[in-house]
Structure 1
Amino acid sequence: MREEEALYDVTIIGGGPAGLFTALYSGMRELRTKIIEGSSRLGGRVLLYPDKMIWDIGGIPIISGRALVEQLIVQASTFHPTIVMEQRIVSVDKREDGTFRLTASGGEQHYSRTIILATGKGEPVPKKLELADAECYEGMHVHYIVRDLERFRGKRVIISGGGNSAVDWANALGSIAAQVTVVHRRDLFIGLEANVARMYGGPARIMTPYELKAIHGDGGIVEGATVVHAENGSAVRLEADELLVNHGFRGDPGPLATWGIELEEDRIQVGAGMVTSIPGIFAAGDAVHYDGKLKLIAGGFMEGPTALNSAKLYMDPAANTMAAVSTHHAKLLGMMR
């Protein structure tokens, strides 16, 4: 039997934080596990902001997105799951024996007794500036994703946006950029309260309620931008070397909508135990919707094992409801000897 024809107990679709942590827990439950990731890198949306600092994971005071992903990959590899990269699953079929056949866009097929969807918010597509000539500067001086903070050292930076990302970048760049100006069309920022307070107490200039209306430059080098007051229409021209646009991302749920899974606002509707509307398919992380959903990485770390426990019970109703805690887990203790 070829490897791709082998039957796995659990196939996790998505290699972001929730999927990676679920792989560790699947190994703790002694299940044959496969991770299928559609891109060329594990880490999911966190890798859109590799230098952003993450503060809200229990027991880790502060960690960069890049470092978190590196540690998650090491952790997920503990029980040696099979990892398949650059395959986007486009269809799932339930066979007569109750197992699933997963088909990738390239025709590759995988077989599994259960599936855990950890697909995140879908393929992230940044919301771009709808301004004349904006495309001329994209990739050079207009940025939707920051991969290297050093690029902005000593530069005059305008940040457009009012969400977590805009606030986080204002704080991160405050100590290295020559000048940071945050432009937001509302007075209220929707970032975490502590981070917003830190931004207001830092060196960044905050301009609200203003909107970015024009970019000035020679078609290659940015020289500045015009912002307009959202209420009285007054215009202000700002000097700048770099523009950082954080207007959010559009998530594409992709083929999920054709699988027969119940969705709620492009998220997978789950019930207790992270069960979906299709028996044998479970979900966790940013992909899911339910009342009281905690939209943090830490929430995905809880949902993944919950989904995995449900998958274990689906396959074996007589099984324990959860794995032994790590401090008592025989295999983990054996690895330390």
Structure 2
Amino acid sequence: MAEHLELYDVTIIGGGPAGMYAAFYSGMRDLKTKLIEAKEELGGRMLIYPEKMIWDVGGFAPIVCEQLIVQLARQARLFEPTLVFGQQITGLERRKDGTYVLAAESGERHWTRTIVLALGRGILKMAKLEIEGAERYEITNLHYTVQELEPFRGKRVLISGGGNSAVDWANELEPIAASVTVAHRRDKFGGHEKSIIRMKTSSVDVRTPYALTQLHSGNGETIHKVTISHVDTGEIEQLDVDAVIVNHGLKSDFTGITGWGLDMDEWNVFANGKLETNMPGIYAAGDFVNYASKVNLIAGAFSDAVLAVNSAKLYMDPEAPRMAYVSSHNDRFKEKNRALGVIE
């Protein structure tokens, strides 16, 4: 039976910052582009903290994460790539002509000359609180992410954990909550140094090394008190709370691609300075890739995307220019400039 698949130049797997910028830049390079995202929307890991303020993206100082997602998604669509949602890619077949066929878990197939892996941290799942019966409070005042700040206004909030998100949530909630307490089982916190200093010098009550060990409810529906325990001494303390936020990390799932033959560890695929993986025609960008000069910022994800797409272009056409012309001199923008009323 004949197979009728449409061949693309570049297929990007992942719709986070790296994937979205790769889709845009691939359009700048006049490549037929497809982006496949496992979720039903673009944004990647940024969707976890939509109200977080982003300070370290060039040209935006600061910008609310949700707004940055909107801007990146608009930019990604500029050259009309094919966007595919709700498909987790698991299978890979390399054909005799060097092209690849990607297979989704649901059975759909995608044919492409090259691949850019922008998987971020994979299919992410929040690590749940390991306290018996905790799940009953998930519909009331036990939270694993902060989608909006306003519901916490005037509340006594306990944050359990010390990762980047925990620090950011503490800083964002401190001005509006009645009180914010952070209990972390280690003295060292994750996140940017400035954010940690800001948290520690504010009214946030930082308790280390403490672990959240018990939840107490007066009505069986909401948490009204918690017990935190000193990790070294076992000393316990009870705190009155109105809301509990848990940030115990994320569990990632890369099971779909672990059998492809890529050189990778638990969290990353390894690449060279051109973002080439050990497999021909397959490149990587963003949090998923690791290489000698890696920059772990959203701005670094954009640079990764450019390098990966440039390598894909040269793989298909070794005589092509090494990179795209800047937008002020790029023919692909002339019509769009005229539409904006720009005189050239």
Q: TM-score, normalised by structure 2?
A: 0.94
Say how many residue pairs are matched: 336
Q: Identify the residue that residue 6 of structure 1 maps to in structure 2.
A: 6
| Deviation sequence 1:270-322 (CA, Å, 0-9, x none) | 11211111101111111112233222111110001100000000000111110
* Aligned ranges 1:188-337 → 2 under 5 Å: 188-217=188-217, 218-337=219-338
The SS at the match of 1:254 is coil
Following superposition, the deviation at residue 176 of structure 1 comes to 1.3
Following superposition, the deviation at residue 4 of structure 1 comes to 7.3
* Distance (Å, rounded) in 2 between the aligned partners of 1:53 and 1:61: 9
| Deviation sequence 1:147-203 (CA, Å, 0-9, x none) | 121121111100011121111001100111111111112222222111111112222
Letter in 1 for 2:229: V
* Distance (Å, rounded) in 1 between the aligned partners of 2:87 and 2:62: 32
* Distance (Å, rounded) in 2 between the aligned partners of 1:98 and 1:190: 42
* Distance (Å, rounded) in 2 between the aligned partners of 1:155 and 1:334: 52
Following superposition, the deviation at residue 98 of structure 1 comes to 1.4
* Aligned ranges 1:7-26 → 2 under 5 Å: 7-26=7-26
Which range moves more in the overlay, 134-143 or 233-242? 134-143
Letter in 1 for 2:36: I
Contact conserved, 2:271 with 2:289, CA < 8 A, in 1? yes
Letter in 2 for 1:312: K
Which runs of 5 or more residues in structure 1 are unaligned?
none
Letter in 2 for 1:152: F
**Whose helix proportion is higher, 1 or 2?**
1
Following superposition, the deviation at residue 261 of structure 1 comes to 1.1
RMSD of aligned Cα (Å): 1.5
2:178 equivalent to 1:166: no
Contact conserved, 2:273 with 2:291, CA < 8 A, in 1? no
Following TM superposition, the consecutive aligned residue runs of length 4 or more in structure 1 with deviations greater than 3 angstroms are none
Q: TM-score, normalised by structure 1?
A: 0.96
**What's the % identity of the aligned pairs?**
49
Q: Identify the residue that residue 57 of structure 1 maps to in structure 2.
A: 57
Q: Identify the residue that residue 100 of structure 2 maps to in structure 1.
A: 100
Contact conserved, 1:4 with 1:110, CA < 8 A, in 2? no
Contact conserved, 1:9 with 1:33, CA < 8 A, in 2? yes
Which runs of 5 or more residues in structure 2 are unaligned?
339-344
Q: Identify the residue that residue 127 of structure 1 maps to in structure 2.
A: 127
* Distance (Å, rounded) in 2 between the aligned partners of 1:161 and 1:243: 11
Contact conserved, 2:272 with 2:292, CA < 8 A, in 1? no
